Amino acid sequence: MGHKEDLLAGAKQCLREKGYANTTARDIVAASGTNLASIGYHFGSKDALMTQAIIEMISEWGDRFGGEPVDASADYGTRFAMHWRDLAAAVSGDRQLSLASFENAATAMRLPELSAIIAAGQEDARIGLGDDFAAADADPGTRRAIGSLMLAVTTGVIAQWLVDPKRSPSPEDIVKAFQAIGEAFARK
């Protein structure tokens, strides 16, 4: 690897271990085995390097979450349960990466470039989740509403799993809760 790749690897390591706010340029240099001048040469600034590292980490987290695709012909309940099982496996499989992703989202509110990237990723997630969980004949507004709800619940569940994994809902609990809510709506 060259200095640029080493710096990115070092920045990602620091984000996992220390978070954005607690990482210094010297920390990155120590983790990467490079020098301070390399940061400016390859990225222009520590913030630009950290932003690029965050972007790559978000992509890595998204790749982990994907798991094996569920057969589109599988019944709705199977697809829904698989979403929560895949998510639980992604979070428990790499808690540091999941935590860093949450910290990065908070950091993004102060970095417009990163905020725009995360916002675009969230919109992609809304669309994808809407496509996955809306009825085939649902109109675009309904699809987006379902995707937005699934993203909100997914984000909230991840936060619970990170903070208090023992008392947080299991994938089975989540499926059970959604089934009960659906039944309540059906009763009117």
pLDDT in tens, 136-157: 899 999 999 999 999 999 999 9
User: Is the pTM for the entire model greater than 0.85?
Assistant: no
C-alpha 53/C-alpha 43 separation (Å) is: 11
Q: How far apart are the first and last CA of the chain?
A: 62
How do the domains of the chain map onto residue ranges? 53-187
Quote the pLDDT of residue 65: 64
For the stretch 94-138, pLDDT in tens is 888 888 878 877 877 888 877 888 888 889 889 989 998 998 899
Q: Which amino acid is at 86?
A: D
Fold of the 53-187 domain: Tetracycline Repressor; domain 2 (1.10.357)
**Range name among 32-46, 63-77, 128-142, 170-184 with the lowest pLDDT average:** 63-77
Rounded (10°) angle between helices 3-18 and 46-66: 70
**Alpha carbon distance 72, 66 (integer Å):** 14
- For residues 83-102, average pLDDT: 86
How many Å apart are CA 151 and CA 162, to the nearest integer? 16
Cα→Cα distances 144→77, 118, 125, 127, 129, Å: 20, 17, 10, 6, 8
**Which residue shows structure tokens 């697809």?**
79
CA separation (Å) from 11 to 16, 36, 119, 120, 127? 9, 13, 22, 23, 31
